[in-house]
Chains A and B, each alone.
Chain A
């Protein structure tokens, strides 16, 4: 079955430190992955998608097919990065997005 795993429910780092939110997936086809973010009192929104190869708010994510991972990284965390982050996978067969359980990131001052 298609699955997205975010092994860390909670992640806490200090401001200015590097941050990496882990995402692993299982998928038999060619994967297409996304990161969604939900800031406090705001709606869930798309952060980035791997096909765009973009950097948004300093975050990047590289698809590693060998390790079946799509970790989200930022070299220097900022307090405004504190949020809930969801990794999602396109399930072509079922015509849907499969979300991971989410990681709550807290950036300490």
Chain B
């Protein structure tokens, strides 16, 4: 078990709604990464936080936002949801700030379905 936890496991909601996905990193890891996995786009990096600060940004839409709290858990907020936002959202964590220097440990993912 990699130790990264994500809640909820599944989420079904309607278009236009807002949801929050939660991630707790492994004990001792300071970086949290968010990824979106969809059938047509594969695994897309969204955003990284390191010790509470935004570290790197990927293909994250303006409708999406994230934050990392003092206890290092992170939340990904998705608003004005569209059908195309349906995907598996992964969280990963690593010890340091550089995503290539330390192995990223992935969580089980949250499956979001937008109807």
Contact = CB atoms under 8 A, between A and B. Distances in A.
Give the interface size class of chain B. Answer: 20 to 34
Nearest to B90: A44
Nearest to B108: A43
Interface residues of A, number: 19
Interface in A91-109: 94-102
Given A94-B56, A99-B42, A100-B42, A45 B106 contact: yes
Given A45-B106, A96-B56, A101 B42 contact: yes
A86 B2 CA distance: 18
Interface string A18-54: 0000000000000010100000000111100100000
A71 interface: no
Contact of A96 (B41, B58, B90): B58
A73 interface: no
B55 A95 contact: yes
A43 B45 contact: no
Interface of B: 2, 4, 35, 41-45, 48, 55-56, 58, 90, 92, 98-100, 103-109
Given A96-B48, A99-B44, A99-B45, 7 more contacts: A32-B100, A43-B108, A94-B56, A95-B99, A96-B45, A99-B43, A102-B43
